[in-house]
Chain A
């Protein structure tokens, strides 16, 4: 099933060319969207997503939904990229090393259970 707007956004992240939608007042949001969720401006432009974000909260999920059955336990996090935040699965780092404030970069990987694409965060070497 195709999801216009969202699929293009995921493909751009996979290509290392992630973007977000910005309104004239500087609010950020993600597609598909026709107006800013913060001020309702319909003048949205695509702006480059910051290459590096920072984890603001996370959880290790032990009881998964069926679509993540083969992934559990896995870490899902919300990370801040300037004026937008993204939610993704943390890859390439043991749970014990995941912490608030950790620098991550967004990428796209395969959900082992469904074979579908999933937004992931990978640690940034500092």
Chain B
């Protein structure tokens, strides 16, 4: 089986770009990744691309060829849609393709354009990640769905809004030094607790912002990297994906995310590691409660124990296992279809030592990314490792 290495990464700064086209956003990230990889144009075998709401936001389906052209490539290009896990799924498919010998060089990434829509249209567009018949028609919004999970969590395990506020405070603090993050503003627990209610018990500061942006990664086979003398010190050591029922009402658990647990177990087995081997993690904190569920699914905590991790200082930059040193979706921003590979970009830099927050984890060798779709009906986990 071919080894998979990361030869280049690129990001746009995340933020509000209502006037910028999706193809332009993706081109910026893709060209940055291609520039870093330094691989000639003709060697690219495929483009794998994640996007969620392109039809609604830009009236553009069939985005694969559109963005490949924008990235300056002439090769097969496929769009993957798995709600907020779109780019994570695209990344996993690229890894599988290279491992299977189907390609040596793949550009993988994602893009979302959201701020050209108003808040209510974005709310409508995000809600289609839920079950249309049984949830959307009953008034379930994306924040509403996570609010249903948060109340179920509080009821089953305890915890409260103050615990969640500490997660928001942590991730905003981490974003301060990340030039690519949407927010560069520290907040306090009081700020979070006093922010307007979006869907109780979740408030505005429990939620990630509406974000435009793109991310891209150049993946290569180990053979290609060696033969071409590439500087690609980070390898993809493990990949896993899990699924669950689309509608919350049909799930066995309302306060756990077994799809992510399955994805993590698969990725750990693939990489031959355990949760204890993980030095640093980027997890899908579209809402603060989502970070809690992620920590538990990744095996860092037992169910019910992850809620206090940020408040106890265990997942802060000074803690034993920092989580979301990028600022997370909460403060870095969440351009839905770009998030999965944006996490890989951040983790690659953290492991290479060229991230603004690499000094928080100077000896890190193993990093994990956790990317969830919808209310975790889809989940993708990857293990990245610094090569010896």
A interface with B by C-beta (< 8 Å): 3, 6, 29-30, 37, 56-69, 71, 74, 76, 78, 84-89, 100, 116, 118-119
A68 touches B133 (CB 8 A): no
Note all chain B residues with C-beta closer than 8 A to A76.
Answer: 138-140, 144, 148
Q: Closest chain A residue to B207 by CB distance?
A: A63
Stretch at the interface among B117-125, B168-176, B263-271: B117-125
> Assuming A67-B124, A86-B249, is B155 touching A57 (CB within 8 A)?
yes
- Cβ contacts A to B, 13 pairs, < 8 Å: A37-B250, A58-B148, A59-B144, A61-B139, A65-B120, A65-B124, A66-B120, A71-B139, A76-B138, A76-B139, A87-B135, A89-B139, A100-B155
> Assuming A30-B134, A78-B249, A89-B139, is B199 touching A61 (CB within 8 A)?
yes
Q: Say whether B127 faces chain A, with CB atoms less than 8 Å apart.
A: yes
Q: Indicate which residue in B119, B121, B245, B247 contacts A87 across the interface (CB closer than 8 Å).
A: B247
A118 touches B123 (CB 8 A): no
Note all chain A residues with C-beta closer than 8 A to B135.
Answer: 87
Bound Cα distance from A67 to B250, whole angstroms: 23
Bound Cα distance from A76 to B196, whole angstroms: 18
Note all chain A residues with C-beta closer than 8 A to B133.
Answer: 3, 6
Q: Which of A6, A65, A69, A74 counts the most chain B CB atoms within 10 A?
A: A65
Q: How far, in Å, is A73 (CB) from chain B's closest CB?
A: 8
> Assuming A56-B152, A61-B144, A66-B121, is B249 touching A85 (CB within 8 A)?
yes
Q: Say whether B332 faces chain A, with CB atoms less than 8 Å apart.
A: no
Q: Say whether B230 faces chain A, with CB atoms less than 8 Å apart.
A: no
Bound Cα distance from A1 to B149, whole angstroms: 31
A63 touches B124 (CB 8 A): no
B137 touches A85 (CB 8 A): no
Bound Cα distance from A63 to B147, whole angstroms: 12
Q: Say whether B160 faces chain A, with CB atoms less than 8 Å apart.
A: no
A65 touches B249 (CB 8 A): no
Q: Which of A63, A67, A69, A119 counts the most chain B CB atoms within 10 A?
A: A63
Note all chain A residues with C-beta closer than 8 A to B127.
Answer: 65
Judged by DSSP, the binding face of A is strand
Q: Indicate which residue in A37, A64, A84, A88 contacts B141 across the interface (CB closer than 8 Å).
A: A64
Note all chain B residues with C-beta closer than 8 A to A74.
Answer: 139
Q: Say whether B360 faces chain A, with CB atoms less than 8 Å apart.
A: no
B138 touches A89 (CB 8 A): yes
Q: How far, in Å, is B52 (CB) from chain A's closest CB?
A: 16
Q: Indicate which residue in A58, A64, A89 contacts B123 across the interface (CB closer than 8 Å).
A: A64
Q: Say whether B330 faces chain A, with CB atoms less than 8 Å apart.
A: no
Q: Please provide the 6 A-B residue pairs with the shortest distance between their CB atoms, ordered closest to farther.
A: A59-B147, A85-B249, A57-B152, A65-B124, A87-B138, A76-B139
Q: Closest chain A residue to B254 by CB distance?
A: A57
> Assuming A57-B148, A57-B151, A59-B147, is B254 touching A64 (CB within 8 A)?
no
Q: Indicate which residue in A59, A61, A84, A87 contacts B151 across the interface (CB closer than 8 Å).
A: A59
Note all chain B residues with C-beta closer than 8 A to A78.
Answer: 148, 248-249, 254
Note all chain A residues with C-beta closer than 8 A to B119.
Answer: 63
Q: Closest chain A residue to B143 by CB distance?
A: A63
Note all chain B residues with C-beta closer than 8 A to A60.
Answer: 197, 199-200
Q: How far, in Å, is A13 (CB) from chain B's closest CB?
A: 12
Bound Cα distance from A60 to B121, whole angstroms: 19
Note all chain B residues with C-beta closer than 8 A to A67.
Answer: 124, 136
Bound Cα distance from A3 to B134, whole angstroms: 12
Note all chain A residues with C-beta closer than 8 A to B147.
Answer: 59, 61
- Residues 231-250 of B, flagged 1 when their CB comes within 8 A of A and 0 if not, give 00000000000000101111
Q: Indicate which residue in A37, A63, A64, A69 contacts B245 across the interface (CB closer than 8 Å).
A: A37
Q: Say whether B193 faces chain A, with CB atoms less than 8 Å apart.
A: no
Bound Cα distance from A78 to B254, whole angstroms: 10
Q: Say whether B198 faces chain A, with CB atoms less than 8 Å apart.
A: yes
Q: Indicate which residue in B138, B141, B201 contacts A63 across the interface (CB closer than 8 Å).
A: B141
Bound Cα distance from A84 to B134, whole angstroms: 12
Bound Cα distance from A76 to B140, whole angstroms: 7
Bound Cα distance from A100 to B121, whole angstroms: 31
Q: Closest chain B residue to A55 by CB distance?
A: B151
Bound Cα distance from A118 to B148, whole angstroms: 19
- Residues 144-183 of B, flagged 1 when their CB comes within 8 A of A and 0 if not, give 1001110110010000000000000000000000000000
Note all chain B residues with C-beta closer than 8 A to A69.
Answer: 120
